[in-house]
Amino acid sequence: MTKKAFRSQQWFNDLKNPDNTSLYLGWFMNYGISLEELRSGKPIIGIAQTGSDLSPCNRHHMVLADRVRSGIIEAGGIPFEFPVHPIQETAKRPTAGLDRNLAYLGLVEVLLGYPIDGVVLTIGCDKTTPACLMAAATMNIPAIALSVGPMLNGWHEGQRTGSGTIAWKARELLAAGEIDEEGFIKLVASSAPSTGYCNTMGTATTMNSLTEALGMSLPGSAAIPAPHRDRAECAWRTGKAIVEMVHADRKPSDILTRDAFLNAIVVNSSIGGSSNAPIHLIALARHMGVDLTLEDWQTFGRDVPLMVNLQPAGQYLGEDYFRAGGVPAVAGELLRAGLLRGGAMTANGRTLEDNCLDARILDEDVIRPFDRPLKSAAGFSVLKGNLFDSAIMKLSVISDDFRARYLSDPEDPEAFEGPVAVFDGPEHYHRVIDDPSLGIDERTILVMRGTGPLGYPGAAEVVNMRPPAYLLERGIRSLPCVGDGRQSGTSGSPSILNASPEAAAGGGLALLRTGDRVRIDLRCGSANALVPEEEWAARRLELDMSGGYVSPASQSPWQELQRAWIGQLQTGAVLEPAIKHQRLAQT
Ligand code: FES
Ligand code: MG
């Protein structure tokens, strides 16, 4: 390997500024690292640690970091591990949606302000992945992601219980009186049997798979379950790989090209990926300076078939996905079918085609061959109308009945239409949903508003709403849901979500009233309130005169700051002023 002066040498070997250099050196040496090491010219490799006791999904990274360190040292680098702002999807109040951009900001500042030549991003739980990738994109120093891996499969009475997915089912059973609280907890706890992130195709498995599809992690790395020996070996290989990347000066801008993002869109449809993926990938592309829009998801992803049979769209879980071949098996099929741009560069210096063209499916029930998929057209449908400029619907979770009726015949499209029940945030919904006087029946469309990036800071995962208990007792398990918030990737609810602009930003949902009729046409991608135009305009005027849709006050300084800067879900919900700061390592 050729010797070159790394960025870190500005801290440790700057002969033009010996005062500074001695200050930097002295304090780093206080725990025993030697002058010889710091002046060796070896690259300093950051390990951005997202694991902690507050983040159970990523906690195993605290163990894996030792193997990463060994790999870095083996390849001739010096590891510096440091903490990233913790994000735990299931525990953060009011919503973990607040924290992706905060962790992003913190990591950019660390990577910019400290002597780091390359970085291992320890990814896993939903928002830890986009937060880390976004920061690496903004900095544009060599970076590679290490997934913590999914939990082992959950089991209950001989059935697979998927994390997240079983929780949505359990809340229905509880509301219908079919289980008690003890049964509820038992069922949910069964789905989380080991260290690692959710074992379903929720946002975590989705984002870790897409990180690999983008080329930002080693091939085959996403699906390895957290406790497996292969996971620890992968950590060691990732440590070795980042040192090579630094010597080769292989940066995010070499990997995160438009081709790579289009590949990720295709892979997302074929795995039945989360409805949070468009938000995070558009955010990442914008920080990288790559053009990517919601329309690209419709154009390149909508008609791609579902190949991966994982909950919530299918039946299996993470261990099965790993044994069936994981992302390389999926990418191999898609490459041979001509759907991927095989020349896209990846972290290991090889193209996607080099890595995956020969990869084969090892269990065709878990990963279906491209020509025998579980479902056709399994991407996202993008909708618009007088209710919003854009919202998405995840087609991989739509039932066959619904699909046959509303999606299959382009010559004879049928729209679904019904009266709405409108809720202003999850607290309102929980308070009133079981009240029969609301008149909710099997034709009702449930609408959740006030839950976008401004209304419920960061955007809450609350659009998938269960029907009232009295309908559940009659066997009605779901109603159509529409909302300006998000939905957990582990939910199989065929909701229309991520509506932009949200009610709090003046979107049409703010004008809707309980009892209005809404018509949704999936073939032509429209969603409209059937309210006469004059009436709609009068409501708009009334809302504007009253000062707009009222959201709860910010509860913290960060909520206040983020509300001032954040954009809508359609454009990635990024901190808009941050976008102009790009490729900081070169400036
Ligand atoms: Fe962390 Fe699902 S809650 S990955
Ligand atoms: Mg989530």
Domains of the chain, by residue range, sit at 42-153+193-357, 155-190, 385-546, 557-581
| Stretch 328-354: mean pLDDT | 98
CA 204–ligand 1 middle distance (angstroms): 6
> Coil, strand, or helix at residue 186?
helix
Please tell me if the CB atom of residue 204 comes closer than 6 angstroms to any atom of ligand 1. Answer: yes
What pLDDT score does 267 carry? 98
CA 126–ligand 2 middle distance (angstroms): 6
Which atom from ligand 1 is nearest to the alpha carbon of 126? 4
| Stretch 511-521: mean pLDDT | 96
Which atom from ligand 1 is nearest to the alpha carbon of 197? 4
Which value, in Å, is the radius of gyration of the alpha carbons in the chain? Answer: 24
Of the pLDDT bands very low, low, confident and very high (cuts 50, 70, 90), residue 1 is very low
Nearest CA to ligand 1 atom 2: 198
| Stretch 530-553: mean pLDDT | 97
Please tell me if the CB atom of residue 89 comes closer than 6 angstroms to any atom of ligand 1. Answer: yes
Look at 587 and 214; give whichever has higher pLDDT: 214
Please tell me if the CB atom of residue 90 comes closer than 6 angstroms to any atom of ligand 1. Answer: yes
Ligand nearest to the CA of 199: 1
Of the pLDDT bands very low, low, confident and very high (cuts 50, 70, 90), residue 484 is very high
pLDDT in tens, 152-210: 999 999 999 999 999 989 988 998 899 999 999 999 999 999 999 999 999 999 999 99
Please tell me if the CB atom of residue 318 comes closer than 6 angstroms to any atom of ligand 1. Answer: no
Nearest partner of 460 among 432, 428, 436, judged by Cα: 428
Q: Which CATH number fits domain 385-546: 3.50.30.80, 3.30.460.10, 3.40.50.720, 3.60.130.10?
A: 3.50.30.80
pLDDT in tens, 170-180: 988 998 899 99
The tokens for 149 are 């891996």
Please tell me if the CB atom of residue 57 comes closer than 6 angstroms to any atom of ligand 1. Answer: yes
Which atom from ligand 1 is nearest to the alpha carbon of 58? 1
pTM comes to 0.97
The tokens for 11 are 């801290």
pLDDT in tens, 287-333: 999 999 999 999 999 999 999 999 999 999 999 999 999 999 999 99
What pLDDT score does 162 carry? 96
Give 575's DSSP letter: B
Which atom from ligand 1 is nearest to the alpha carbon of 164? 2
Please tell me if the CB atom of residue 198 comes closer than 6 angstroms to any atom of ligand 1. Answer: yes
CA distance 563 to 527: 27
pLDDT surpassing 60 at residue 536 = yes
> Which of 50, 52, 54, 57 best tests ligand 1's pocket when mutated (most atoms within 8 Å of CB)?
57
Which atom from ligand 1 is nearest to the alpha carbon of 204? 4
Look at 1 and 107; give whichever has higher pLDDT: 107
> Which of 89, 207, 486 best tests ligand 1's pocket when mutated (most atoms within 8 Å of CB)?
89
pLDDT surpassing 80 at residue 407 = no
CA 125–ligand 2 middle distance (angstroms): 8
Of the pLDDT bands very low, low, confident and very high (cuts 50, 70, 90), residue 3 is low
What pLDDT score does 409 carry? 63
Nearest partner of 170 among 152, 195, 190, 199, judged by Cα: 190
Which atom from ligand 1 is nearest to the alpha carbon of 490? 2
Average per-residue pLDDT for the chain: 95
CA 329–ligand 1 middle distance (angstroms): 24
What pLDDT score does 4 carry? 66
pLDDT surpassing 80 at residue 499 = yes
Give 509's DSSP letter: G
Percent of the chain with pLDDT over 90: 87
Nearest CA to ligand 1 atom 3: 89
pLDDT in tens, 416-471: 899 999 999 999 999 999 999 999 999 999 999 999 999 999 999 999 999 999 99
Please tell me if the CB atom of residue 351 comes closer than 6 angstroms to any atom of ligand 1. Answer: no
Nearest CA to ligand 1 atom 1: 125
CB-CB neighbours of 336 under 10 Å: 16
β-strand 118-123 against 143-147: which pairing, if any?
parallel
Q: Which CATH number fits domain 42-153+193-357: 3.40.50.2300, 3.90.226.10, 3.40.50.170, 3.40.50.9100?
A: 3.40.50.2300
Of the pLDDT bands very low, low, confident and very high (cuts 50, 70, 90), residue 24 is confident
Nearest partner of 211 among 242, 252, 240, 245, judged by Cα: 252
Of the listed ranges 19-28, 148-157, 402-411, the least confidently predicted one is 402-411
CA 380–ligand 1 middle distance (angstroms): 22
CB-CB neighbours of 450 under 10 Å: 28
CA 366–ligand 2 middle distance (angstroms): 23
Please tell me if the CB atom of residue 512 comes closer than 6 angstroms to any atom of ligand 1. Answer: no
The tokens for 273 are 């990926």
pLDDT surpassing 90 at residue 268 = yes
- Angle of helix 203-214 versus helix 128-139 axis, rounded to 10: 30
Which atom from ligand 1 is nearest to the alpha carbon of 55? 1
Q: Are 42-153+193-357 and 385-546 equal in CATH topology?
A: no
- ipTM over 0.85 threshold: yes
pLDDT surpassing 80 at residue 412 = no
> Coil, strand, or helix at residue 105?
helix
Percent of the chain with pLDDT over 70: 98
pLDDT in tens, 230-265: 999 999 999 999 999 999 999 999 999 999 999 999
